[in-house]
Structure 1
Amino acid sequence: MTENTDVIVVGGGYAGVMAANRLTRRDGVNVTLINPRPHFVERIRLHQLVTGSDDAVVDYQTILAGGVGLVVDTVTRIDAAERRVTLASGGSLDYDYLIYAVGSGSGVPNVPGAAEHAYRISTLEQTQRLQPVIDAAHASAALTVVGAGPTGLETASELAEQGRKVTLVCGEVLGPYLHPRARRAVAKRFAKLGVTVLEGPGATVTGVTGDAVQLADGREFPSDVTIWTAGFGVPDLAARSGLSTDALGRLLTDETLTSVDDARIIATGDSVSPSDLPVRMSCQSAMQLGPQAGETVLSRIAGKQPKNFSVGFFGECISLGRHAGIVQVARKDDTVSRAYYEGGRSMAMLKEGVCWSTVWQLRQEARHPGQLDLWFKDRRRRQVLGAKAGTTSADAGRMA
């Protein structure tokens, strides 16, 4: 009789759920998903939770395959030698294979006063703490959003559309991922919404107090509520468990998403750094990396060599409130093109469709694991890796 294989997936975000569902395509695989909360969080909707237009959660029962067990707990340590994880509740679970999918959050701001006085919104709990603060704030209260990436742009738009007084502090540039043509279109939309946009060399936050924000060029302006959306960080579980990580704390793997330390540990989503050359942290990449991490485990169970991972990007779809949006088109390798599309209700509906489709894909993978593969892949990664290896070798030669 063939023994069952126990696989633990640590983290129930987009990549973790896709990986767990993909594993159910093979009989004899016991899949356990460990997540700190009982509901799936639609992270790409958290800006909507700020204003109450969506609760940003989905019942796991609707997106997990029937054979996946859910444990609501937090993993505090991975013991690779014993193939065991320790839980915050005090228990432990053994595994044959582990998929590391702990995701990411906003980085802890090192700006004086920011940690104490600014609200972050990269997790459900952080956003839930902010929502009543926004509701209680006077209609004329000064709201500041720090960071001009997608989350910052979408949050500022949502608030301004409700008639709030919003200042967006960009740092160097508004929408750094966007092509300059698309950037101008976003600036025009913000002008229409009445958002004050601060950008340029001096528009970097150097201090936050309970009622003000200070900038690098010496300016200080009132801020009744400051929302911090700048930067990414990842949980330190891998480092605390003695596993190799990159400078940001993502688990180092080879191109099959397998840990450089242990062939029984596979990583996916925002918390993986393949060949120390990670792809952009995003739902878009997580939805692709999740199934491939599952396939790596299935290949190892079957005694086959896993395939190298491959992802492809289409760009970025950004809502600018409930009534407008913009699509920045990119090449498959995530380099931005000149093409973009802006519009009113139609673009807002397109972004809503993107959010809806991610949950639909999770459900499809649960019902028909392995049958869904909608992504066009980037074929240039091998060239980039080759160039990186050549540079490393040249540097090593010069150092010698």
Structure 2
Amino acid sequence: MEHRIVVLGAGYTGAVAAGRLARRLHREDVSITLVNPEPDFVERVRLHQLAAGQDLRPRPFSEVFAGTGVEVKLAKVTAVDVDRKTVSLTTAAAANAAGPQELAYDTLVYALGSGWNDGGVPGAAEHAHEVSSRPGAQRLRERLAALDAGRPVVVVGGGLTGLEAATEIAEARPDLDVALAVRGGLGDWLSQKGRTHLRKVTDGLGITVHEHTTVAAVGADRVTTADGRTVPADVTVWTTGFAVHPIARATTLEVTDAGRIAVDATMRSLSHPDVYAVGDAATATGPGGRPLRMSCASGVPMAWQAADAIAARLAGTKVPTVPIRYFQQCISLGRREGLIQFVTADDRAVDKALTGRTAALYKELICKGAAWGITHPTAGMPGRRRRIAPQQTGTPARARTAA
């Protein structure tokens, strides 16, 4: 009787959690099923590159998890019943069947993540493009490729995603008229050095920056600001924030007003102890009692924490807790420029920042390292994996660890 672990979502956090669980637990004691609608890993932190015309390396899950004991199930999650401990799935085969499939679990890792958020702004859903998903980035890529020289592109949102999208597009297509609309000042959360470099790069790329500007409506060929101005836009790219997958809110899980699952320091649901939530889907507390922001920098250590806690509880050993903190914000500004803003543990900018080509190489190493960790799930596998305590499996008593 294996302990059934189901991981929903194979983005950075879900894939990391599945791989780490495979390293920590003995294969005879558990079954690990990773559910994802797409057959290969999507490097979300590079989707602005895809949109700007670059090709990304395919990373099929069939190769990533080969020989690890992790079963990859290609399906879309349609519902979760945390009281019956089942997940409803739709696969290509099931689409023509009587209804969705059901997958039962003993422990659930919820990592469905987030998607773009149009904020309810009129016209955004109909006319704007997004770079939070591969299909969205691909549609934007095709639209940009069809634009003639001199046509206007407006990126709305001055956070990390907006900065990366605007600079990547402007560098790849210097013939376009690229503008960036930000609610506050350009990079106003950065250090003085960071702001100065960001301004230098946007000026050098010819990006028009509309500061202290709120976009109130999006049309097919323009955006309208809250103060009534219109800015021409053959293409509008919307990057003002993310919204979590709605499935959690439809369950009996305790969630926040934003629909994120409430968890403890081990990423365990506060209402359902057999459910763990990681990444953008969860709201966890970081240094200073501040919520961790939606990011890969938060999600990966959350996945480590959840996997280690699950393994420890199943084995009946002490549950480790490692505080999650921040060290830097890494921003690519095209392929030749970058900005590494060093921060406090609770994510506030300090005076120190790395800029220019060195920062671009630094960011590239961070991205490659994150992808390598996904695609080598059993790298550094310990010589001894934990065996699950008898009461967790119903099998005869065993030693807690085995070769």
User: With structure 2 as the length reference, what TM-score do the two structures score?
Assistant: 0.87
Q: Which piece of structure 1 moves more, 168-177 or 311-320? A: 168-177
Residue 278 of structure 2 corresponds to residue 278 of structure 1: no
Give the one of 69, 73, 76 matched to 1:74. 76
Do 2:309 and 2:319's aligned partners in 1 also have CA atoms closer than 8 Å? yes
- The whole-number CA distance in structure 1 between the counterparts of 2:64 and 2:305 is 18
Give the one of 247, 255, 262 matched to 1:252. 262
Residue 116 of structure 2 corresponds to residue 106 of structure 1: yes
Report the Cα offset of residue 87 of structure 1: 0.7
Do 1:85 and 1:93's aligned partners in 2 also have CA atoms closer than 8 Å? yes
Q: Secondary structure at the match of 1:338?
A: strand
Matched AA of 2:81: D
Matched AA of 1:8: V
For 1:38, the equivalent position in structure 2 comes to 39
For 1:18, the equivalent position in structure 2 comes to 16
- The whole-number CA distance in structure 2 between the counterparts of 1:308 and 1:9 is 21
Structure 1 residues 317-344: Cα deviation after superposition (integer angstroms, max 9, x where no partner):
1111111111101122222111111113
Give the one of 307, 317, 321 matched to 2:334. 321
For 2:397, the equivalent position in structure 1 comes to none
Report the Cα offset of residue 306 of structure 1: 3.0
Do 1:49 and 1:131's aligned partners in 2 also have CA atoms closer than 8 Å? yes
Report the Cα offset of residue 217 of structure 1: 2.2
Matched AA of 1:287: V
Structure 1 residues 346-395: Cα deviation after superposition (integer angstroms, max 9, x where no partner):
33222211111101222444233479xxxxxxxxxxxxxxxxxxxxxxxx
Report the Cα offset of residue 180 of structure 1: 3.5
Do 2:34 and 2:70's aligned partners in 1 also have CA atoms closer than 8 Å? yes
Matched AA of 1:178: L
Between the aligned residues of both structures, percent identity stands at: 38
For 2:54, the equivalent position in structure 1 comes to 53
- The whole-number CA distance in structure 2 between the counterparts of 1:319 and 1:362 is 21
Report the Cα offset of residue 277 of structure 1: 5.3
Matched AA of 2:229: R
Report the Cα offset of residue 182 of structure 1: 0.8
Residue 86 of structure 2 corresponds to residue 84 of structure 1: yes
Segments of 5+ residues of structure 2 without an aligned counterpart are: 92-99, 384-403
For 1:181, the equivalent position in structure 2 comes to 193
Do 1:83 and 1:96's aligned partners in 2 also have CA atoms closer than 8 Å? yes
- The whole-number CA distance in structure 2 between the counterparts of 1:205 and 1:76 is 33
Report the Cα offset of residue 313 of structure 1: 1.3
Residue 301 of structure 2 corresponds to residue 288 of structure 1: yes
Report the Cα offset of residue 64 of structure 1: 3.0
Cα RMSD after superposing both structures: 1.8
Matched AA of 2:33: T
- The whole-number CA distance in structure 2 between the counterparts of 1:369 and 1:259 is 28
- The whole-number CA distance in structure 1 between the counterparts of 2:148 and 2:375 is 41
Residue 374 of structure 2 corresponds to residue 362 of structure 1: yes
Q: Secondary structure at the match of 1:45?
A: helix
Do 1:8 and 1:98's aligned partners in 2 also have CA atoms closer than 8 Å? yes
Structure 1 residues 120-154: Cα deviation after superposition (integer angstroms, max 9, x where no partner):
11111111111111100112110000011111111
- The whole-number CA distance in structure 2 between the counterparts of 1:306 and 1:350 is 34
Report the Cα offset of residue 26 of structure 1: 1.1
Q: Secondary structure at the match of 1:58?
A: coil
Once the two structures are superposed, the pairs formed by residues 1-400 of structure 1 within 5 Å of their partners are: 3-24=1-22, 25-27=24-26, 28-55=29-56, 57-64=58-65, 66-89=68-91, 90-161=100-171, 162-163=173-174, 164-200=176-212, 203-274=213-284, 278-304=291-317, 306-344=319-357, 346-369=358-381
Matched AA of 1:51: A
Report the Cα offset of residue 62 of structure 1: 4.3
Q: Secondary structure at the match of 1:311?
A: coil
Q: 1:258 to 1:172 in 2, by over 3 A?
A: same
- The whole-number CA distance in structure 2 between the counterparts of 1:225 and 1:79 is 40
- The whole-number CA distance in structure 2 between the counterparts of 1:172 and 1:272 is 27
